[in-house]
A and B are shown apart, each in its own frame.
Chain A
């Protein structure tokens, strides 16, 4: 039985109309680390209800780009727009407040805090009323209830939300990190290698979650090394090589094979040769 039993059905109900808005727009982003140019002049856009796969070899600049979008790294040049507006402020908090949720390669959960605390870390809910807010009195029950509701809406079968994140398996952590983005009503979800080191069944479950995100109308940027996963879930694929974007292909217009994608990554193929 799959973990995701209803994500896609549920998503179908809220599937946005065909008006796919450009949720995330990255324009001409460049970043140097000392003598190394990690990114130069990279532009890409992710629309709502779309999964854009970002692929490239090690050192192509994928993680740098992800960190820039997540607000962890300041780009040297270029601009980031969320739903056409530039971000207010900088840093991870500003990115989150703008609706960008990032599922990091190493998942970024605090092992000694429980699932609900992790989901709401840095954005805790407070008790109602001016006093609760003024005293910053946390509403633990409310947070637990919201996490439980989100898990069931995603069809996730996870341990109780009071379970410490450190005792979750890789797939469970992945699910928590992804559920976090849904709970926050994020407009954009960035996933950096969410499928690394997951088993076949867990991978399938996470891929179904990605489908669920698309159905929720969320713009998803999926970084992966696995061409099969790219072809399985994404609408579009962007290829980075040595810090530059070398291809951006709409998969609904063009049938691609895994070998062709590998060719684009290594530079043996150019987009116009396809």
Chain B
């Protein structure tokens, strides 16, 4: 009887541990995704800021010329 109880308690403890591990794993994944999104957002925002101040008519001309050059492959 006592051994049965101990066995049951062990099983319960194992279940709780498994579920806790799963929760931790899920939370970790969620946090990683959030972090990645935030980093991506930050990187794009920084890039936008830099491009806005650095991209002038002269640099833009190269973009325009390349776009026109490759245009026929898109139509």
Binding between chains A and B: no
